Amino acid sequence: MAEPHDLTALEQAAAVARGEFSSVDLVRHHLDRVDALGDTVGAFVTVTPERALAAARAADAVPATERGPLHGVPTAIKDLTLTAGVRTTFGSAAFADFVPPVDADVVRLMAAAGLVSLGKTTTSELGCSLYSEGLVAPPARNPWDLAYTAGGSSGGAAAAVATGLVPVAQGSDGGGSLRIPAALCGLVGYKPSRGLVSSGPLGFGAFGLPTNGPLGRTVADVAALLDAMAVPVPGEPYLPPPRPDGGYLGVARR
């Protein structure tokens, strides 16, 4: 039988649904990998094991009829993205101790879909460069060759997914910040059209050019995570493109 981290995100969720693993099992397995390998590849700024295990226990208690396709699966949130009660540094020593009081909409929506965050992934300072090296965490390194960068500004997310620390991760992209790390690390990174994934509660910058998006090892996993993220939120300034029949995962499977 494959190790849990060798499975795609959708396969991990299916294994949870069949009772082969619990979400707690998956989270513990991936936290052990983060502990062993996270600093080597510079994937995480902040790891939140207690929160993750509590969220996994809550995920395991949800009735099967109320679970989505990624329910119980470990993930991670980019350190540019507000996460209530969790240190969020924006990749900058100036915000080394900042703890937001609220979640970004994308964090709330991923949690509502049953995904379990293990912590915050390394980014460039304020997301301004195409590598992920700063003063608040080890630099994000390419798992295929540690002499090379994992890219940026979602480099920690790419390093985490490519190393099997999480199967999918949230990132953001204005000028390549998801797509470049994905290309360098052999992954799939998708920048959605503006308005598709909420940037609330802070709102959009640069006329909606930067957007939240998914990163994973397969197109299907990325499509499933996009379905979790792409939930309309009142007050968004840009109208999203029409949602396809069956969602993005349905399109990927067809």
Tell whether pTM > 0.95: yes
Fold of the domain built from segment(s) 4-253: Amidase signature (AS) enzymes (3.90.1300)
Other CB atoms within 10 A of residue 78 CB: 33
SS3 (DSSP) at 77:
strand
Q: Which residues pair with 149 in a beta bridge?
A: 141
Q: Which residues pair with 77 in a beta bridge?
A: 120
- Give the neighbor-by-neighbor strand order of the sheet with 168-173: 168-173, 211-216, 188-189
Which residues, in sequence order, are CB contacts of 81 under 8 Å at separation 6+? 88, 104, 106, 107, 120, 170, 172, 212
Catalytic residue numbers? 78, 153, 177
Contact between 218 and 187 under an 8 Å Cβ cutoff? The reply is no
Boundaries of every domain in the chain = 4-253
Question: What does the alpha-carbon distance between residue 132 and residue 181 come to, in Å, rounded to a whole number?
Answer: 10
Which residues, in sequence order, are CB contacts of 3 under 8 Å at separation 6+? 29
User: Peptide bond preceding 117: is omega within 30 degrees of 0, i.e. cis?
Assistant: no
CA angle 133, 134, 135 (to 5 degrees): 145
pLDDT digit string (tens) for the chain, length 254 residues: 689 999 999 999 999 999 999 999 999 999 999 999 999 999 999 999 999 999 999 999 999 999 999 999 999 999 999 999 999 999 999 999 999 999 999 999 999 999 999 999 999 999 999 999 999 999 999 999 999 999 999 999 999 999 999 999 999 999 999 999 999 999 999 999 999 999 988 877 777 789 999 999 999 999 999 999 999 998 888 888 888 999 999 999 99
